Structure 1
Amino acid sequence: MAGTAQDRASAKRATVKIRIPEDTQWPRPREGGRSHSPQQSGKEESTHPLKVAYDSGPVGEEPRIANTGHRDIFDRMPIPSSGPTPPGSFTSTSSGAAGTLPTPELAPVDEQLTDLAIWAVIFAGGIGSRFWPLSTPTRPKPLLALVTGRTLLEDTVGRLQPMIPPERVIVVTSADIAPAIRTAIHDVPDANVLVEPRPLGTAAALAWAAQEISRRAGPNTAFVALHCDLAIGFPGVFREMIHRAAAVAHRERAIVTIGVTPTRADPQFGYLRTGALLDSDTPLNRGGSAIVDGFEEKPSEERAAELIAQDARWHSGAFVADAQTVLLQLAHCTPEIASGLDQLAQGDIDGWVARLGDSISIERGLLERVERLLVVSGDVAWDDIGTWASLRRARDLDDDGNGALGRVSFVDSENNIVHAEGGTVVLYGVERLLVVTLPGLTFVTTLDRANDLKPLLDALPRNLRMNPGPVRPA
């Protein structure tokens, strides 16, 4: 392992380096910012280092980023032009992200939609048992601070701003955690938190939210639907993709998924097989849109590599459409909920719930059945925060691949994840461990075993499984 033990123990500074080609096309300065061109120095090629001082601090505090007044640090990076082999490839030691930086040469968005008032629907239900012992019925996954010092739900609402302000955010959640949800996102009006009387499934939750947006803002109002357990490394680019998807959805009267350019053949994700481009002159990686030929959920690693070679995209779980289109497609494609849509339109929530059939997801009930589905795509350093092991890709890491929230020291240790509450954790001479400390409980396993905690939870006494330690307010 490189570096001294003292270096690894502190593990407080990371560097992001981007190789900038000579023919880089520099974007216009952002409002309140500056553009920097290395071409002024006369050098053929330049290395642009962005130093980020990172101190996780106690859990619940925002990570501190030095030398910048802008939390979305990647929004301030110069954007290289793309070519057949994108020259803006990157690896980030601070985030573990890898991929290609987005190109500024994108197809123009419809000028009539530049002021489009887009809404958002965020699904924030479920305990998230794969993040035990942090996630419990009294402290569900949406209210966990897993990536930053904020909860997953706060991160999701925050990355949509300023394009989508809190008053245009609808959150669908369950009755048992609704009070805590409202407390966590106090900027979102209480009336915007839709509380399921029982678990409805995401397709039914989508119908309720779409009907509510239609009632408040009109049936042609566009919205983005997404889950709150996504990690997005480039929020500014993600917002641009939402806006571009809304323009396509408005023009085509279709549902437009947000695809992600894959950076590896990962068998844990779903894949979108892309078909014909809507505009043959504008490929997906330059702001175009395409028809989705089909889904493949969690293929083998070998099959995932084949899909990537065929220009498939990761399915991010997010999509954009107008409220009317969503409701019409649900009525046509999803009989499990279609029979109660009239009651829903009349505001009879109890009558609607009573007529719902089997619970079904958006993917199975709508996206896999809809006759015409479109996709826009981009590089946003996306990840699905689905297991403890996935946090190594989403959290800031030290030079030895360790990630932590809380007070933690690593000495001669590699590729570990630590979540520490209420004390200091020191790891010495170990690798690929997960360590979670709570008041009254310490949990240790390997990152490999952390991918499947069901056998453990089945074996534990119920009281320990449901309440692993003194519960701190979320």
Structure 2
Amino acid sequence: MNTLSGLIPCIISGGSGTRLWPVSRQNMPKPFMRMRDDQSLLQKTFLRAASLPGVQSVLTVTNRDLLFRTLDDYRGVNTTQLALDLLLEPFGRNTAAAIAVAALHVQEHFGGDALLLVMPADHLIVDEQAFAQAVAQARDLAGRGYLVTFGIQPDRPETGFGYIEQGDALPQGFQVKRFVEKPDLATAQGYLDGGRHLWNAGMFCFKADTLLQELAGHAPAVLEAAVAALEHSQTLKNTNCRQRELSAKGFGTAPDISIDVALMEKSAQVAVVPCDIGWSDIGSWEALRQLTPSDDKGNQINGEAILHDVHNCYIDSPKRVLGAVGVSNLIIVDTPDAILIADANRSQDVRHIVAELKRQNHPAFSLHRTVTRPWGTYTVLEESTRFKIKRIVVKPNASLSLQMHHHRSEHWVVVSGAALITNGDREILLNMNESTYIPAGHKHRLTNPGIIELVMIEVQSGEYLGEDDIVRFDDIYGRGPTNAEPSEPKS
């Protein structure tokens, strides 16, 4: 099967965005961050892909734990009902493996001559028209057998990006002379003055067959692992959505390496399209503040802030009032369970906070206080060593798994909507202001049979209240015992 244009946008949604903590976290990473227009970066990337001429299908490579959050985001913007293909990674293996499985999938389902347009899910592009023009140029070069990358015209000496040096001119771009790692400031200034170096945007365009042939020659281990991951994948398909869950055993053999290092720096068939598209990788809070308008004292504010003698600060506090006195050049980000305060000149160093949270196995590394699940959300309102209180919101016609807990009991109170509850061998319907008690060891299930959201308060009590104290017997989202998350193999 082929699309009319032969172009398959491939969204790579794997970035963790550690420098954007506490908003970006492992289980709600940067692609899901909402911009001021309330669209996520992932939604903006999807809309950018969908607007290209002739596109009828969009491919996404993401972690399988992010599947339902991804589908929720797409549901909000896929108004033309484009076909969705999703390749679900069991764990991250960098961009080389992700792009290899995407190319194999496209070759299988759309033909080897189909063009992949690889787009990171966490970048922002302001000039959509210039982007479409750059894609048209890249398609022409890719049709001639080139592996095409996009180079951003630099407007400052940037030390945080890799660079591409342009070589000989081509009809729609330039051959790539070489890729350059992140330079020091003096070198970056020389690149800016010389006019032959471009920022490496991490976007690519190529024929599926061309990419796979070049991988076979330069990175065979990546290709072999991608083939193994797809050969033993499991596929679920409905009307306009196809999901392939990659084999953990096969995918785990892939080298943890970027497509630049694995292939682009080695191939002689690489071209670059220079472009000025209003691009930002939003790699840090300092990068995000550059996109935000300032007040007359140089402050950028999201939310309600009361300031006295405050200058050149970025303040993000959408949920509560923030007061500040006599400070300058700070980044302040307030979320319900964590606050970041950083020198604006050191926003790149936020990653060190994240590394320490990960080392401590702290929940703030991976989860927000509000956690998204396939059936809805839960928010931890309060917790101690022997109790935890949650606000649970269940979507219409959604259902939690049939489950049991060894170490905790639960008391459920319906705040709004209706709840159909399995409690042991009984099934009961609860309405607003009604409640039930679930003893430890009882099988139970919660379902919303109505057409409006079900909102409940759950009070847990027991000796152990961890989220891993759960035994699933049946689940409509495929999260039963046979679908437990595999351990990541040692590299």
TM-score class normalised by the smaller sequence: 0.5 to 0.7
CA drift of 1:408 comes to 4.3
In 1: Cα distance, 2:110 partner to 2:335 partner:
44
Q: CA shift at 1:236, angstroms?
A: 1.7
Contact 2:230 2:247 in 1 (8 A): no
Confirm or deny that 1:395 pairs with 2:292: yes
Query: In structure 2, do the counterparts of structure 1 residues 260 and 199 end up closer, same or farther at CA, with 3 Å as the change threshold?
Result: same
Q: How does 1:263-282 map to 2 (within 5 A)?
A: 263-279=155-171
2: distance between equivalents of 1:341 and 1:440? 39
Match of 2:101 among 208, 213, 228: 208
1:363 and 1:246 map into 2 onto residues whose CA distance is 19
The residue number in structure 2 matching 1:232 is 125
Could you give the per-residue CA deviations for residues 354-410 of structure 1, whole angstroms, max 9, x where no partner exists?
Answer: 573421111111111112210111211212211111112233444544334334466
Query: SS of the counterpart of 2:316?
Result: strand
Structure 1 residue 422, shift from structure 2 partner: 1.5
> Separation in 2 of the partners of 1:166 and 1:462?
43
Which deviates more, 175-184 or 270-279?
175-184
Compared CA separation, residues 331 and 400, structure 1 to 2 (3 A): farther
| Residue 44 of structure 2 corresponds to residue 159 of structure 1 | no
Alignment counterpart, residue 471 of structure 1, candidates 355, 370, 379: 370
| Local SS of the residue matching 1:211 | helix
Match of 1:242 in 2: 135
Match of 2:187 in 1: 303
Residue of structure 2 in register with 1:116 after alignment: 5
Alpha-carbon offset, residue 452 of structure 1: 0.7
Deviation at 1:351, TM superposition (A): 8.7
SS in 2 for 1:307: helix
Q: CA 1:215/1:275 → structure 2, altered by over 3 Å: closer, same or farther?
A: same
Aligned twin of 2:213: 328
- Deviation of 1:290 after TM superposition, in Å, equals 0.6
CA distance in 1, matches of 2:35, 2:343: 18
Cα displacement string for residues 396-451 of structure 1 (whole angstroms, at most 9, x for unaligned residues):
44454433433446665433222223223354543221111122433322222321
AA paired with 2:7?
I
1:255 aligns to 2:167 (yes or no): no
Q: Comparing both chains, which one has the higher relative contact order based on Cα–Cα distances under 8 Å and sequence gaps of 6 or more?
A: 1
How do 1:155-194 residues align onto structure 2 when only pairs under 5 Å count? Answer: 155-163=44-52, 167-186=56-75, 187=78, 192-194=85-87
Q: How big is each residue's C-alpha offset from its partner over 1:222-261, in whole Å with a ceiling of 9 and x where there is no partner?
A: 12112122121212211211122111211x2111111111
Structure 1 match to 2:336: 439
Aligned length: 351
8 Å contact from structure 1 (residues 148, 395) kept in 2? no
Mapped partners of 2:324, 2:134: distance in 1 = 41
Matches of 2:215 and 2:135 in 1, distance apart? 21
CA 1:331 to 1:453, structure 2 compared with 1: closer, same or farther past 3 Å?
A: same
Q: How far is the alpha carbon of 1:272 from its aligned partner?
A: 0.6
Q: Unpaired segments of 5 or more residues in structure 2?
A: 234-245, 378-491
Letter in 1 for 2:19: R
Alignment partner of 1:131 out of 16, 20, 27: 20
**Kept after mapping to 2: 8 A contact 1:413/1:429:** yes
Decide which structure has greater strand share.
Answer: 2
Secondary structure, aligned partner of 1:339: helix
How far off is 1:204 after superposition?
A: 1.0
Identify unmatched segments of 5+ residues in structure 1. Answer: 1-114, 280-287
2:227 & 2:107 partners in 1: Cα distance? 14
Deviations 1:164-214 (A, max 9, x none): 688522111112222212212223778512111232221111011112222
Aligned with 1:176: secondary structure?
Answer: helix
Equivalent of 1:456, from 335, 350, 353?
353
CA distance in 1 between counterparts of 2:311 and 2:247 reads 53
**Identity, % of aligned pairs?**
26
- SS for the counterpart of 2:370 is coil
Name 1:21's counterpart in structure 2.
none
Query: Structure 2 vs 1, CA of residues 211 and 404 (structure 1 numbering), >3 Å: closer, same or farther?
Result: farther
Bigger Rg, structure 1 or 2: 2
TM norm structure 2: 0.65
Distance 1:391 1:355, change over 3 A: closer
Deviates more, 1:450-459 or 1:357-366: 450-459
How far apart, CA to CA, are the structure 2 residues paired with 1:432 and 1:208?
Answer: 44
Q: CA deviation at 1:148?
A: 4.5
Q: TM-score, normalised by structure 1?
A: 0.67
The RMSD of aligned alpha carbons is: 2.8
Does the 8 Å contact 2:304/2:322 carry over to 1?
A: yes
Match of 1:319 in 2: 204
1:361 has 2:250 as partner = no
Distance 2:37 2:52 in 1: 21
Cα drift, residue 262 of structure 1: 0.6
2:21, 2:123 → 1: CA distance?
18
Taking the aligned partners of 1:342 and 1:442, their CA distance within structure 2 comes to 44
Indicate the SS of the match to 1:192.
strand
